[in-house]
Structure 1
Amino acid sequence: MDIAGTRRLPVWLIATWGLTRLALLLFVFKVWVFPGPDVTSDVSVIYHGWYETLRTGTFPHDDVTWQYPPAAALAILSPALLPFLDYAQAFYVLAFLADCAVFCLLRYAGLRPGRTLRGAWVWTVGVALLGPTVYARYDLMVTAVTVAALLAGARHPRVMGALVGFGALLKVWPALLLTAAVKRKAWFSAAVTAGALALLFGLTMPDAFSFLTSQRDRGTEVESLGSLVFHVARHFGWDGHVWLNYGSVEFLGPYVDWVSSAALFLTVIAFGWLLLWRLSVRRMPPHALVDAAFVAVLMFTVTSRVISPQYMVWLVGLAAVCLCFRGSRMVLPGFLVLAACLATVLEFPVFFANVVASDGLGVTLLFVRNGLLVLAALTAARELWRTTVSRQVPAVPSQATRTQETLAPS
């Protein structure tokens, strides 16, 4: 029996990915109908509207739902690469290709020494659990860039930095991937790439940075951690209301600004913890770079006043990269994220009407999903600290994870 050949051709993994992605395509192309509200309207209505504005050479600054950095225009304009399809169809095909690229990268990485195919399985299962929403948002494209950046990692710091800089101009959060980067090359490359792109957009397209002030009057989104306060309060006479605001369904009314401020405070606390961790690091095993990126994005997602379903694809991608490393301590947090994906697809879109109504089912689903994310964040932060800061080095299962990288900048 050709054992090596079997290892290099993970038939079950490839078959599972192929079948689940076929299902996702059938859902977004509306051959099959997914329960709940239509998740594809963002592409066919909102994205397409932005596309018509962007192709004239300006940003949709009069549209309060445009809240993205300038390179997001590239993702919105990308369906023009497939002119033989209509806008929505082209977008779904490109989302599928981005998904395929991530899968191929994780499969390739998983077959290298000291690695495992767990990451490719996490990606395959996690994206499938999130349902067709993943193919109807440009977050999958951003995640593809960040997965490529993390897999470049310490071996190619300049490549990683360039991809992080580009990703940050797509949707800001990829900048968190530099949390554990210790090489100046990565930081310099990221700064140069982001700066050059920002300058290019600033000089060629008006209102490229209007997104910086477009969210000042946002409420608390109904799926966020803070929203649980109001979901419960509605049963005790709170007289606020649910409203479609700034492109998402939010709570507006008394005390909403207090909860939004509390969310911002928690984000500051998360940043402070990450800074303390960075100053306290004693050792950096090979997987610490990706583990720290996962922890950082997980913390900032949990503390955000908006936790949209598509944000989960960021966490699935980062968890998948972590679990490519045999020595990663993020196994439990990664599986908690997968469980949160299942709860997410149930709260949106399947039972989103129940969430908006704050009934028992909707509130329970949110408590489960957000509780799993909070538990994942706390567990991941503890494991990162134990692996890189604690005086006693925890046992690791492979020699590759005992190799330490120098903290000296190069």
Structure 2
Amino acid sequence: METKAVRRSLTGPLVTWGVTRAVLLLFVFRVLLFPGPDVTSDVSVIYRGWYEVLRTGTFPLDDVTWQYPPAAALAVLSPAALPFLSYPHAFFVLAALADLVVLALLAHAGRRPDGSRRGLWVWVAGVPLLGPTVYARYDVMVTAVAVAALLAGVQRPRVLGALTALGALLKVWPALLLVGAVRRRAWASAAVTSAGLAALFAVSMPGAFAFLTFQRDRGTEVESVGALVFHVARQFGWSGQVLLNYGSIEFVGPGVAEVSTAALALTAGAFGWLLLWRLRATRVSPYTLADAAFTAVLLFTVTSRVISPQYLVWLIGVAAVCLTARASRMGPPALLVVAASLVTVLEFPLGFAHVVVSDGYGVALMFLRNGLLLAAALVACRRLWRATVPARPAIPFPPRQTRTEETPVSS
């Protein structure tokens, strides 16, 4: 009887996943045409070009658009595992398989005694809202590693550390998964794994860490929170430009360097808040690990100089892990992220031309999407703090003395 109930509870998510992912594959295989610019060109042109260079045993040192840690080479080279398919088609199939891995992990986590199907639904419904971009970037593969790390983290801290290190060497942001880790074994495992992998790449492939220089020189991308300053300034005659710079569409001109510096300062401030939270948090429970990771990734995203559409895949994945625990406090910010995903596909690829020229529609989309992400970050911070940091007892004021008739009065 219990098995039948479990099967019935999984039928809806599985059918929805199958239908929506089939549609996504039809889009990336170009059987159906998704409106707007072709989002698959990154795979067929950029990734394929990197693939040819990486096969020679070196990183693309002359390409400033290569801004990824060394393990990203594994994702770019992965289509070689399916030699009977063309490079783009093999990549799309592997992206769909990574999506399926996340589905299986979330479904298993939801079956725990304290589990919930909410996380499974967040992933099933949230991912297709981003459109075919999900399968045309390797972020879904990184997210699969991050989801596996968080779900393993409560009972297997060493696995958490090892997978976090791998994820960080794929795309940096999974390092934030350790924010809520309280066991030293997780940190030790992450340190050993990252050091070993980094040394292996540094010795075997020249230019493994050239991406650090390319990242340093980036400006303010048109979809970031900081870019709102220039979207508004253009309405009043700002003299800057929008150019393809370091592989993304960025603002270039007066004030851009200052806004980019301010974004870095805000990121530092966010890390400072996370450090303060770690020092003050005492009511830590098993689900705190994922809640803290979700909050950290949100803070990293909204303070970043770049917010690409695929960043929402990270947020959906980590939010889904949070909501596999019935006691998680991250329901409202997770819903805000899902809503932001819907607005994201409206601005890219559907309305990206409007965003680039900063017309009324494009600016409204950017304010709405980034406003939802900012709200999600603030709500997540507040809920994480309230759930884990005990309130300080109020210090009572001394009773106020009142003059009585018996009190002698000096003349």
Give the TM-score normalised by structure 1. 0.94
Work out the CA distance in 1 between the residues paired with 2:217 and 2:241: 15
How do residues 348-367 of structure 1 correspond to structure 2 at under 5 angstroms? 348-367=348-367
**Structure 1, unaligned runs of 5 or more:** 393-410
Partner amino acid, structure 2, of 1:94: L
Partner amino acid, structure 2, of 1:218: R
Work out the CA distance in 2 between the residues paired with 1:6 and 1:360: 50
Q: Give the number of the structure whose alpha-carbon radius of gyration is greater.
A: 2
Contact 1:8 1:111 in 2 (8 A): no
Which residue in the other structure is 2:378 paired with?
378
Which residue in the other structure is 1:398 paired with?
none
Residue-by-residue CA offset, 1:82-127 (whole Å, 9 max, x unaligned):
0000100000000000000000100111011100111010001110
Which residue in the other structure is 1:5 paired with?
4
Contact 1:267 1:300 in 2 (8 A): yes
Q: SS at 1:249's partner residue?
A: strand
Which residue in the other structure is 1:145 paired with?
145
Work out the CA distance in 2 between the residues paired with 1:249 and 1:263: 17
Give the TM-score normalised by structure 2. 0.94
Partner amino acid, structure 2, of 1:6: A
Which residue in the other structure is 2:211 paired with?
211
Work out the CA distance in 2 between the residues paired with 1:186 and 1:253: 44
Work out the CA distance in 2 between the residues paired with 1:76 and 1:256: 32
Which residue in the other structure is 1:329 paired with?
329
Which residue in the other structure is 2:346 paired with?
346
Which residue in the other structure is 1:160 paired with?
160
Work out the CA distance in 2 between the residues paired with 1:268 and 1:157: 27
Work out the CA distance in 1 between the residues paired with 2:122 and 2:367: 23
How do residues 83-94 of structure 1 correspond to structure 2 at under 5 angstroms? 83-94=83-94
Are 2:17 and 1:17 equivalent residues in the alignment? yes
**Equivalent pairs, count:** 392
Which residue in the other structure is 1:235 paired with?
235
Work out the CA distance in 2 between the residues paired with 1:236 and 1:247: 27
Which residue in the other structure is 2:37 paired with?
37
Runs of 4 or more consecutive aligned structure 1 residues displaced over 6 Å after TM superposition = none
Work out the CA distance in 2 between the residues paired with 1:188 and 1:282: 22
Which residue in the other structure is 2:306 paired with?
306
Work out the CA distance in 2 between the residues paired with 1:126 and 1:143: 14
Contact 2:283 2:388 in 1 (8 A): yes
Q: CA deviation at 1:3?
A: 5.4
Q: CA deviation at 1:6?
A: 2.5
Contact 1:145 1:167 in 2 (8 A): yes
Work out the CA distance in 1 between the residues paired with 2:237 and 2:63: 34
Work out the CA distance in 2 between the residues paired with 1:382 and 1:341: 22
Partner amino acid, structure 1, of 2:136: A
Contact 1:126 1:341 in 2 (8 A): yes
Q: CA deviation at 1:217?
A: 2.6
Q: SS at 1:294's partner residue?
A: helix
**Structure 2, unaligned runs of 5 or more:** 393-411
Which residue in the other structure is 1:120 paired with?
120
Which residue in the other structure is 2:397 paired with?
none
Residue-by-residue CA offset, 1:149-190 (whole Å, 9 max, x unaligned):
000012001111110011111011101100011111101111
> Identity over the aligned pairs, expressed in percent?
69
Partner amino acid, structure 2, of 1:89: H
Which residue in the other structure is 1:269 paired with?
269
Q: SS at 2:57's partner residue?
A: coil
Residue-by-residue CA offset, 1:372-395 (whole Å, 9 max, x unaligned):
000000000000000000339xxx
Are 2:64 and 1:64 equivalent residues in the alignment? yes
Q: CA deviation at 1:7?
A: 2.2
Which residue in the other structure is 2:171 paired with?
171
Which residue in the other structure is 2:245 paired with?
245
Work out the CA distance in 1 between the residues paired with 2:4 and 2:113: 16
Contact 2:330 2:380 in 1 (8 A): yes
Partner amino acid, structure 2, of 1:227: A
Contact 2:283 2:390 in 1 (8 A): no
Work out the CA distance in 2 between the residues paired with 1:390 and 1:232: 41
Work out the CA distance in 1 between the residues paired with 2:2 and 2:109: 19
Which residue in the other structure is 2:297 paired with?
297
More moved, 88-97 vs 2-11:
2-11
Work out the CA distance in 2 between the residues paired with 1:214 and 1:349: 25
Partner amino acid, structure 1, of 2:63: D
